[in-house]
Structure 1
Amino acid sequence: MKQRLQQIHPLAWTIIVGTMFGRLVTSMSIPFLSIYLVQVLGATPTQTGITVAVSSLAGILISFYGGYISDKIGRKVIMLISVFSWAGVFFGFAAAQELWVFFLVNMLNGICRAVFEPSSRALLSDVTPAKHKLLVFNLRYAAINLGVVFGPIIGLQLGSVQSKFPFIIAGIVYIVYGLVIFLQFTLHRSALPVHTDVTTPRLREALTTTGKDGVFVSVLIGTIFCIMAYGLFDSTLAQYLTMNTHFSNGKQLFSYMLSLNAVTVLVMQYPVVRIARRFSPLVPLILGNALLACSMMLFGLAGGIGLLSFSVVLFTIGEVLLASMMDMLIDRISKPELKGTYFGVIGFNNLGNVIAPVIGGLLLDEFGMQNGPAVFLPLGLIIALGIPFLLIAKKKLAARERDAVQVKEQMDIA
């Protein structure tokens, strides 16, 4: 293992470590945004859901373009512009006083994330040999959750529910992250791969290619329902725990649930990935979808910390199954000259993050904070709708790879 870690490219380490610190400061602030809007600004659950959802909506509208442009003009320019802009977004959160300003700044937050994330993941793929990609993608995922272990607790201590100081810290950290990325690109410019044998298609051609990829489209639709669970956890569950009088200290409880989620990822990731990699990447996605749906239903039935914690653990195992294999799956089915585009277009699955807070907010407004089953049972059933699409993708991927093997055998014979 030590030898494999030493072979990871310095730029890959920069993304992994930067991701850890980025998620640390982000989880100090963003998860508490919905609580802040409700308790401090007096927004309704539906208004809060729309304000939270706009980040993902903006990301959907721009993510494919950010990934494509990174294929076209290079990762460096796109990553630097987006990371420094992202720092400005957090300072914007700190200065915001009105609901419409939070709406606008959160929209910019989604744009920056949607441009930076696919470009950085494509860069990880660029600089990492095939035999180490699963390790690198999962190190990035572990880094995300290592940051989230401590971020919510620190944010709670810094008063994220009523203070915007954590947003200032996040802005400073992203400035430092950008400077380190610039330095690493400068130091390792000559070692970066240059694809001179392929031509990146025009944007319309790139979107047409991904749109005609039956495996990719089925995965995209199926994971929209999976991603809904994330939006419900961060927005609907946060409001439910905070405003439900059955839970005496909902804000603190929610921060502990976030940390439990991250700790469970760190504990479960290695054994889950060891088992999951023995199967087609779509098998873990299907199982993950089922676990996310079940956990959402249990949130509505939980009357105490015991079942609530069990639900979080179940949710987290589903999340690990989904997240640990998603990047490997996209890397496996994408064309080399369109890797950034594929990583960008898969961002359309964040439509789930757009839909979830709005639906969750409407259900909370309709049934109230005290009626968990009426809110969360329907949400769990909606999430489960992703399973049929992922089963279709599994069947199509098996057929595609079987055909590819037959073609190769025929070429070898010829």
Structure 2
Amino acid sequence: MSLSPFRLLCACGLLAILSTTMAKNPVLPLFAAHLGAGPEGIGLVAALSPLAGVLVSIPGGLCSDRFGRRRLLLASSVVFASAPLVYLLVTDVWGLALARFYHGLATGVFMPVGQAAVADAFKASRGEKMGAFSSATLAGRFVAPMLGGAALGLGFAWVYGLCALAGIGAMLLVWRLPDFGERPAPSCRPPLREGLAQLFSSRAILGGCLLEAGMLFAYGIFEAFLPVLALERGYAPWLTGVLFSVQVVTVALTKPLFGRLSDKRGRVGQMLWGAAFTAGACAALPWVGLAGMFVLSMLLGLSLSLATAASGAFVADRSAATNRGAAMGLLGALMDIGHSTGPLLGGLAAALAGSGGAFWLGAATLLGCVAASRAMTAEPLGEERA
């Protein structure tokens, strides 16, 4: 049976994110320790992949605007296929850091360009289709630690061998993709500097990106400090894994539905209310017991899904076709910055006020982003640019 281009792209996303996540969870800190890394070295290795994403997301999106989405997806798929083989050649911590940085380049290009490709191909159902693409990548992210953990019992090489198979599978599927939408003619593309000026002068685009950065800031704190909170309460570590699973499955199952809702009812109110509910769930976590943590984890997943299903499509709506890749790249870069700085600043807050302080910082920061985004997206929407 022949798959549609959209389903092919979703399958590519699943395999690509499966590959890069399996190379990280749970094997990366264990492999780094095996190579002699201390806590600082493990932290450095873990930080390099998001750093790569921040550095290449906007350039990757800009290149896709000029040279076509498929070419950039092909380039990133080559990295997904080859990066796992680089891990097999690593003999020290610095080699592992470079391998992780190289692998992060693929994700930093693939995700914004893939989102831009979906946004190009669909307008009336843009939120639903972007939500479905995101859910496909979440499925890969969810399965990866289980497969990686099972293969880890056979040795590090087996884990990276599985990563290579997934990456090669993603590359083969990308080769079957046609171009999504029509590339603007060279005469229709604004000069690079003018395109960037248009992007950074749009209050609406910046407001949507800021909101997602705030949500990932709060979610990064949730990821980092939920295990700490559960340990302080004396709960078994496996229960923390269940809490994370509940949250991820909730997002994956509901994001296409919430994307469809935003297609029909509008994006701004949905993304702002979803972010506000996310902040409320984050702030309440330190006050509840185990049952409440399960409920709030599910609520956080629902509210995160509600908000992000609308905000990504909102940024795509407000960007011109000639710089949509760059807009999605900016969104990805700010999300990575938020996701990385959340645990860092949350750690400082936890040192001052206990683990609850980290969650309250995440909630307060996100509410500030909601207020700023509300002001930046309050301008009349007018007609969406396609």
Question: Does the alignment reach a TM-score above 0.5?
Answer: yes
Question: What is residue 334 of structure 1 aligned with on the other side?
Answer: 319
Say which of 62, 67, 75 aligns to 2:56: 62
Where does the alignment leave 5 or more consecutive residues of structure 2 unmatched? none
- Quote the Cα distance in structure 1 between the aligned partners of 2:196 and 2:235: 47
* Residue aligning to 2:235: 247
Out of 105, 109, 116, the residue aligned to residue 99 of structure 2 is 105
- The reply on whether 1:323 has 2:308 as its aligned counterpart is yes
What is the one-letter code of the residue matched to 2:80? W
In the superposition, relative to structure 1, how do residues 92 and 285 fare at CA in structure 2: closer, same or farther (>3 Å)?
farther
Deviations along 1:118-177, one digit per CA (max 9) or x if unpaired, are 222222233x242343332122122123334433333343448x9574343122211121
Deviations 1:214-262 (A, max 9, x none): 1112222232211213333444445x269758233x2x33433332223
Q: Alignment length, in residue pairs?
A: 382
Aligned residue in 2 for 1:393: 376
* 1:88 partner letter: S
My pick for the range that moved more, 313-322 or 90-99, is 90-99
CA distance in 2, matches of 1:82, 1:15: 13
In the alignment, is the contact (CA less than 8 A) between 1:35 and 1:242 conserved in 2? no
* C-alpha separation in 1, matches of 2:205 and 2:37: 42
* Contact 1:299–1:372 under 8 Å retained in 2: no
Bigger drift between 318-327 and 63-72 goes to 318-327
TM-score by length of 1: 0.79
Any residues of structure 2 matched to 1:335-350 within 5 Å, and which? 335-349=320-334, 350=336
Q: Runs of 5+ in structure 1 lacking a partner?
A: 1-5, 406-414
Matched, 1:89 2:83: yes
Q: Which amino acid aligns with 1:83?
A: S
1:408: which partner in 2? none
Q: What is the correspondence of 1:63-78 to structure 2 with a 5 Å cutoff?
A: 63-78=57-72
271 and 118 in structure 1: CA distance in 2 versus 1, 3 angstrom threshold: closer
User: Cα 1:135–1:218, aligned 2, differ >3 Å: closer, same or farther?
Assistant: closer
How does the TM-score come out when normalised to structure 2? 0.84
Q: Are residues 1:297 and 2:286 paired? A: no
- Indicate if the aligned counterparts of 1:49 and 1:357 stay in contact, CA closer than 8 A: no
Closer, same or farther: CA 130–270 of 1 in aligned 2, 3 Å: closer
Q: In the superposition, relative to structure 1, how do residues 120 and 20 fare at CA in structure 2: closer, same or farther (>3 Å)?
A: same
Alignment CA distance shift 1:315-1:28 (3 Å): farther
2:146 is the counterpart of 1:153 = yes
Deviates more, 1:140-149 or 1:56-65: 140-149
Aligned residues of 2:208 and 2:312 also touching (Cα < 8 A): no
- Give yes or no for contact 2:282–2:300 (8 Å, CA) kept in 1: yes
CA contact (8 A) 1:158 1:165 kept: yes
Pair 73,42 (structure 1): closer, same or farther in 2 beyond 3 Å: closer
Aligned to 1:200: 189
Q: 1:197 to 1:316 in 2, by over 3 A?
A: same
Q: Is the 8 A contact 2:246 2:298 kept in 1?
A: yes
Question: Which position in structure 2 is the counterpart of 1:215?
Answer: 204
**Residue 102 of structure 1, CA deviation:** 4.2
CA 1:200–1:265 in structure 2 vs 1: closer, same or farther (change >3 Å)? same
> Aligned AA for 1:130?
K
Give 1:85 shift.
1.1
Name the counterpart of 1:21.
15
**C-alpha contact (below 8 Å) 1:286/1:391 kept by paired residues:** yes
In structure 2, the residue corresponding to 1:385 is in which secondary structure? helix
Pairwise CA distance, 1:94: 5.4
With over 3 angstroms needed to count, the CA separation of the structure-2 counterparts of 1:134 and 1:16, relative to structure 1, is same
The answer to whether the Cα contact below 8 Å between 2:73 and 2:113 also exists between their aligned partners in 1 is yes
Partner residue, 2:172: 179
Partner deviation per Cα, 1:70-100 (whole Å, 9 max, x = no partner): 1112223221111211333334445556554
Shift of 1:29: 4.5
Residue in structure 2 matched with residue 139 of structure 1 by the alignment: 132
Q: Quick one: distance in 2 between partners of 1:165 and 1:323?
A: 35
Cα distance in 2 for partners of 1:102, 1:176 equals 23
Question: Would the alpha carbon gap of residues 275 and 176 (structure 1) be closer, same or farther in structure 2, given more than 3 Å must change?
Answer: closer
Residue 348 of structure 1 aligns with an amino acid whose one-letter code is A
Relative distance call for 1:99 and 1:253 in structure 2 (3 A) is farther
1:390–1:23 distance in 2 versus 1, CA, 3 Å: same
**Could you give the per-residue CA deviations for residues 261-282 of structure 1, whole angstroms, max 9, x where no partner exists?**
2321244335544544443312
Whether contact under 8 Å (1:222, 1:385) holds in the other structure is no
Q: Tell me the distance in 1 between the aligned counterparts of 2:364 and 2:32.
A: 27
Alpha-carbon contact 1:94-1:167 (below 8 Å) kept:
yes
Contact 1:293 1:381 in 2 (8 A): yes
Amino acid of the structure 1 residue aligned with 2:98: L
Task: Give 2:220's match in structure 1, choosing from 198, 221, 231.
Answer: 231
RMSD after superposition = 3.5
Equivalent of residue 372 in structure 1, options 335, 341, 355: 355
Q: Residue 298 and residue 317 in structure 1: after superposition, are their counterparts in 2 closer, same or farther (change >3 A)? A: same
Aligned 1:35-54 pairs, distance under 5 A: 36=30, 43-44=38-39, 51-54=45-48
Which amino acid in 1 is paired with 2:318? Answer: I
Asked whether the 8 Å contact 1:25–1:170 carries over to 2, the reply is: yes
